[in-house]
Structure 1
Amino acid sequence: MKLKFLGTGTSQGVPVIGCTCEVCTSENPKDSRLRSSVMVTTEEHRKILIDCGPDFRQQMLANHENTVDLTLLTHEHNDHVIGLDDMRPLIFKSGENMPLYCSMRVGNEVKKRFPYAFADVRYPGAPAFDLHNIDNRPFAVLDTEITPVEVVHYQITALGYKFKQLAYITDAGFISDSEKEKLKNLDVLIVNCIRKFDPHPAHFILPDVIALFEELKPEKMFLTHISHHLGLHDVEDKLLPQGMHLAYDGLEINF
């Protein structure tokens, strides 16, 4: 299987509009971060998208991705769902509704933000989705077993997803001991890290993820959902413990 980072940035993206810091003005493409999303390619070459934010169209074109077979949503914040309308060309081409897998709470929010996609009589140009409610239990789809991982993101829960010995966690500020059991001794753990030192009410910061790395002992850890406050990629990546890396847009991981 393969995972490709379509975006590794926070809700504002990097560069941030109007910011002139060294990260936002960097000419290194690894310092330009679209909103967080990944594409997983299964053993049968099916495409599973995790989250569909405002940069979805740009991400698909830049990565020469032409299909999405189903979409997993981690939670309902706009930087993770508001690009769903841009799935229309894929839906029109396939002639089938796009399957969305998410918690019932997230599904209800999707219905509120895209009511025209669920109308009894839909406008001909509207997208169409099939909602599949999932909870914190493993499920199989497209011949692939997926294990949800429940995390806390400020005052809501969000879902990470585990495929084989790889787990993708974004927008987490706390993970319970019971959920950490799913994440021990992985080949690859991907986790959000918004900045270096200033505590954040909803996201892990660098000391948090270093502590997770030492506790959970994955073979490799990649950081995502990174803001311009974390620093330049080529500088900060070298300072991380061995086995930890900053992810960047376009990075591919085979697992």
Structure 2
Amino acid sequence: MKITFLGTGTSQGVPVIGCSCEVCNSLDYRDKRLRSSLHIETEGKSIVIDTGPDFRSQMLRESISRLDAVVYTHEHKDHTAGLDDIRPFNFKHQIDIPIYGTPQVIQQLMAEFSYIFVEKKYPGIPRVVINEIENRPFEVKGVPFTPIRVMHHKLPVFGYRIHDFTYITDANQIPQEELKKMEGTKVLVLNALQTKPHISHFTLQEALDLVDFLKPQQAYFTHVSHRLGLHRKVEENLPGNVALAYDGLKISL
């Protein structure tokens, strides 16, 4: 299984418009963060988790030429806004793209992209196949996904475990019964927004505490704010099995 971090930033991305902090002014490519998204290649399938506003540029940057499915974590704009840009995959492979999400996610997509779902469709619009999911295992083109229901303040969000890889973004609380689904995972991805407490995201220390509790072989932090600090400085103080993810990072399991 090959994992590519398409984006590792917050809803505003990094640099933030109008900000002149040292992170936003950094020349280090690891401090340039598009909105959070993930590409998974496994069992001959190409699957994306979340199509944020930067989806098009992420696909171009990584030269991704095939898309078999999209899986959504939740309905916030920074995770859904790029759905329209699946069209080239429709055209190239003459397929309707399966999309997976909770009823709340599907409802938001149908409102935001109403033209996709009307009975009389305009030529050339995205073509999708809706798959509503619940908090129980499901398959995406034969690839097993186990949802992990976490809380993003008061909003339920799905993280996912695929084999020995677990991806959690936009969370600040994980119920005990959901933590059990993460036991034994070899590679863990968590959001770590900043150092100061936040209403809906793990802080760096909270993410580190969770890594210490779950003890994966390797952990990566994503959904990183400019407030966390320069990539190279943050990494200097992380344990040996923890790293900050960055846009374009590729890992293999």
Please give the range of the TM-score, normalised by the shorter of the 2 chains.
Answer: over 0.9
SS of equivalent to 2:227: coil
Matched with 1:20 is 20
> CA-to-partner distance for each residue in 1:152-206, whole Å, 9 max, x for gaps?
011210101111111000001100010001112321000101101x211110001
Matched with 2:108 is 109
Q: Which amino acid aligns with 1:73?
A: Y
Equivalences, count: 253
Supply the distance in 1 between the matched residues of 2:200 and 2:230 (Cα, whole angstroms). Answer: 22
Supply the distance in 2 between the matched residues of 1:227 and 1:81 (Cα, whole angstroms). Answer: 19
Matched with 2:120 is 121
What is the CA-CA distance between 1:98 and the residue it aligns to? 1.3
> CA-to-partner distance for each residue in 1:43-94, whole Å, 9 max, x for gaps?
22x1010000000000011111111100000000000001001111111222
Structure 1 unaligned residues grouped into runs of 5+: none
Matched with 1:52 is 51
Would the aligned equivalents of 2:193 and 2:225 in 1 still touch at CA under 8 Å? Answer: yes
Would the aligned equivalents of 1:91 and 1:127 in 2 still touch at CA under 8 Å? Answer: yes
Supply the distance in 2 between the matched residues of 1:7 and 1:139 (Cα, whole angstroms). Answer: 25
Supply the distance in 2 between the matched residues of 1:155 and 1:190 (Cα, whole angstroms). Answer: 21
Would the aligned equivalents of 2:69 and 2:140 in 1 still touch at CA under 8 Å? Answer: no
Q: Which amino acid aligns with 2:210?
A: L
1:211 to 209, 212, 215: 209
Structure 2 unaligned residues grouped into runs of 5+: none
What is the CA-CA distance between 1:231 and the residue it aligns to? 0.6
Supply the distance in 2 between the matched residues of 1:130 and 1:116 (Cα, whole angstroms). Answer: 14
Would the aligned equivalents of 2:6 and 2:248 in 1 still touch at CA under 8 Å? Answer: yes
The correspondence of residues 24-103 of structure 1 with structure 2, limited to 5 A, is 24-44=24-44, 46-103=45-102
Q: Which amino acid aligns with 1:208?
A: E
RMSD, aligned CA? 0.9
TM-score (norm: length of structure 1):
0.97
Q: Which amino acid aligns with 1:200?
A: H
> CA-to-partner distance for each residue in 1:203-255, whole Å, 9 max, x for gaps?
00011111101111111110000010011111111201221110000111111
Would the aligned equivalents of 1:191 and 1:209 in 2 still touch at CA under 8 Å? Answer: yes
What is the CA-CA distance between 1:96 and the residue it aligns to? 2.0
Supply the distance in 2 between the matched residues of 1:24 and 1:103 (Cα, whole angstroms). Answer: 34
Q: Which amino acid aligns with 1:173?
A: N
What is the CA-CA distance between 1:23 and the residue it aligns to? 0.5
What is the CA-CA distance between 1:3 and the residue it aligns to? 0.7
> CA-to-partner distance for each residue in 1:94-136, whole Å, 9 max, x for gaps?
2222110111111011000000000101010211211101111
Supply the distance in 1 between the matched residues of 2:53 and 2:117 (Cα, whole angstroms). Answer: 20
SS of equivalent to 2:169: coil
